[in-house]
Structures are given as structure tokens and as C-alpha cells.
A and B are shown apart, each in its own frame.
Chain A
Amino acid sequence: GENVEQHPSTLSVQEGDSAVIKCTYSDSASNYFPWYKQELGKRPQLIIDIRSNVGEKKDQRIAVTLNKTAKHFSLHITETQPEDSAVYFCAASKDDKIIFGKGTRLHILP
């Protein structure tokens, strides 16, 4: 079955700097890669997703890139703000079932 590896497990960046979270997946049939954000004490929520026919997608300060050949995908957050502090989960899917990575705890330092 699918296996999703996520790195790093913890990331601290200065406010205003960029943050990058990287994931790899094992099943070449996976074709959908969502990213979820979970703020402290709250439920996970979708922030951006990318499908396998696209190499990059951007939404304001957030961008996701996908390298299907290498089975890598990454989340990029630019100009980080305090409200970006959260746990971020990458995921991979080829049907309605989603396999999540273990999560990255992002700290934004003042």
C-alpha cells in the first residue's frame, strides 16, 4: 500500500522567512496530493492540493510542487506570519482513501 514520508518533523523559522516541508510517496499510481493544516486544538483543514497532471500550484503565500518521476512533493510558505504556526500534514491518494504523512510542527519565531 501507499506510504508517505514527511520531513522535517519540526521546523522553526523566523517570521517573514520562508518554510519548506517535503514529502515522498511510494505508490506511483497516486494522483492527488492534498495538504492539511491543523492549528492547536482544532481540526485539520485542507489548505491546498495538487493533482498529478500539474507540476506546481500557488495560492497567495502558499505553493506546492510535485515531481512525479522522483515521487516527491513539497509545500512552500513564503513571508511566514504568526498564524502559520500549526502542524502540517501532507497526503497522497489514488482513490477516495487518503494516506497522511506523520506531520510537521511549524513554529514561527518573532
Chain B
Amino acid sequence: DVKVTQSSRYLVKRTGEKVFLECVQDMDHENMFWYRQDPGLGLRLIYFSYDVKMKEKGDIPEGYSVSREKKERFSLILESASTNQTSMYLCASSFLGAWNIHNEQFFGPGTRLTVL
């Protein structure tokens, strides 16, 4: 059974703080993803990673960075948190697809971040 865990369910930070969100998966998945979920906007991709030390920008990378030092762990970093980064953050993972083979993404429980 795939398990994707996130370090916190709820987090409250102040404007300007550096924030780390951690995601760990236990299924040896190559791909890991960070999304933010806002009402009426769906799931928007921030960053993703196909392998250790590899990262690619998603649709809304501004204000975020990521780190993938180990295969099972993918961290999202807010260098200087701002109020417009208040959101639900979801991590996901999947196996790397071969040509024309796509694999299900498994999501973590989410971290609700509030920036005051």
C-alpha cells in the first residue's frame, strides 16, 4: 500500500519567515510533485522531480524552491513567506512512466499553511 506522508497537517508562519514543507514516500517512486490547492483554482503544479537532485518548474514556481537529496524525500521551500502563499499544499508521487505508459499519482494528506 502506497504511503505518502507530509510533515505537518497545519502550519502557521509569519510573513518573511523561511518555511520548509517535507514529503516522504515509501514506494520507491521516481517522480515527486508539489501542488497548491486553492478554492476555484484546482490543483496547480509548483515543482516536480524525476530523480534525486533533479527538479523542474511547474506552472507557478515563483516564490518557491525545492530540494530532492534522497529519492524518498521531496522538500518545498518558501524562502520568504508571503500572505498570498496561504494555501493547501499537496505532495504526490508516481513511478516514472516508460514511453506512452502513465502511472497513477498518489497524494499525501496535505499541509494547510497560513501565513500571517
Whose C-beta in chain A lies nearest to the C-beta of B35?
A: A100
B31 pairs with A9, CB closer than 8 A: no
How far is it, in angstroms, between the C-alpha of A109 and the C-alpha of B40 when the chains are bound? Answer: 22
Number of chain B residues whose Cβ lies closer than 8 Å to a Cβ of chain A: 27
Interface string of A84-107 (1 = CB under 8 A from B): 000001000101111111110000
B110 pairs with A51, CB closer than 8 A: no
How far is it, in angstroms, between the C-alpha of A1 and the C-alpha of B59 when the chains are bound? Answer: 9
Chain B nearest CB: distance from A35 CB in Å? 11
A97 pairs with B42, CB closer than 8 A: no
B45 pairs with A89, CB closer than 8 A: no
Whose C-beta in chain A lies nearest to the C-beta of B94?
A: A96
Seen from chain B, the residues whose Cβ lies within 8 Å of a Cβ on chain A are 31, 33, 35, 40-45, 48, 50, 56, 58-59, 90, 94, 96-97, 100, 102-105, 107-110
